[in-house]
Amino acid sequence: MQVDLSTTIAGVQLDSYLMNASGPKCTTWDELEIVAQSASAAVVTKSCTIEFREGNPEPRYSDLPLGSIPSMGLPNLGYKAYLEMVPKLKALGKPVVVSISGFSIEDNIEMVSAFQKSDVDLIEVNFSCPNIPGKAQVAYDFEQVECALKALTVLGDKPIGIKLAPYFDMSHFIAMANILKKFPVKFITCVNSIGNTLIIDPVTESPIIKPKGGFGGLCGDYIKPIGLANVRAFRELLTDDIQIIGVGGIKNGVDAFEYLLAGADAVQIATCFEKEGANCFERIENELAAFMANKGYKKLSDAKGKLKPL
């Protein structure tokens, strides 16, 4: 039986449920072209800043048995380079999602305004990079989120979404959902890595990455229950006009199905793409379709958000 994995985010048609996350292997033209040629439903760029950034000192990434700990520090080409790439990226035939991560509201206004005039399909504003020394994650500062959304959601008609940090308390889900409801935010992407985690190598007696004294963003299997809970909590608190892209520890079709049950409209793949390469999109898509077919489901909406109470 064929399962229809197509979906839409803010009216943008996606041929499948999976796309890359703004994170690994989406910084340069060559990397983005590989994503476009894969089964990823869209091409998502690395979060950009006003200027080119080298990023944090090496070693700034380490694989872990069940995931990874990066602290890349937003290495990127600067937003103007991505703006110039948009026509070429669009010509590759997939929706383009640009991720921006300014260091101030002014930076974000400049970048959102520029991309509003471009041909990108969706704009994802990253409020949750944990890896910039001396910079707090905006997503944990509710007042700042509100100020930023007030300024960013009036700059044009292209759909804006925000990438959120993981939250761990019901009061935070409620506070954030109440802010989101005040603005025409079209989607949220949750969750970013769990910031400021520390892995110590007992042999060398040192952290395993260099930036921020070894503090980095935990990714992969370790964070899947947190990603699922964030998607679920926001799905229950928000109305359907704000869609949800789930991220965190998806490495097979069953993981993707769990995000579907929690209520995700699409999912993004980060660590698994980093470790396995671009073939992961087709593999996970096939596994998701087979798992759903086995249950007799024909399309995503047959299971979306339908987590059964115990």
Nearer to ligand SIN, 99 or 304 (CB): 99
Options 26, 48, 129, 272, the catalytic residue: 129
Give buried/exposed letters for 204-220 (b at 16+ CB in 10 A, else e). Answer: eeebbbebbebbbbbbb
Rank residues 55 and 159 by Cβ distance to ligand SIN and give the closer one. 55
Question: What's the min distance (Å) between Cβ of 129 and ligand SIN?
Answer: 3
Cβ distance to ligand SIN smaller for residue 16 or 47:
47
| Half-sphere exposure in the Cβ direction for 177 (13 Å, CA) | 21
SS3 of 72, please? Answer: coil
Distance in angstroms (rounded) separating the CA atoms of residues 121 and 153: 15
Beta bridge partners of 269: 20
Q: Which is nearer to ligand SIN, 23 or 305 (CB)?
A: 23
Write down the least CB distance from residue 164 to ligand SIN, Å: 11
Where do runs of H (alpha helix) occur along the chain?
Answer: 29-37, 79-90, 105-116, 142-152, 170-180, 224-237, 253-262, 271-276, 279-294
CA distance linking residue 23 with residue 255, whole number of Å:
19
Catalytic residue list contains 26: no
In whole angstroms, give the CA distance from residue 263 to residue 100.
25
CB of 70 to ligand SIN, least distance (A): 6
CB 37 within 8 A of CB 277: no
Closer residue to ligand SIN, CB minimum distance, 34 or 247: 247
Q: Which residues bind ligand SIN (CB under 6 A)?
A: 22-23, 47, 70-74, 126, 128-129, 131, 192
Q: What positions carry a catalytic annotation?
A: 129
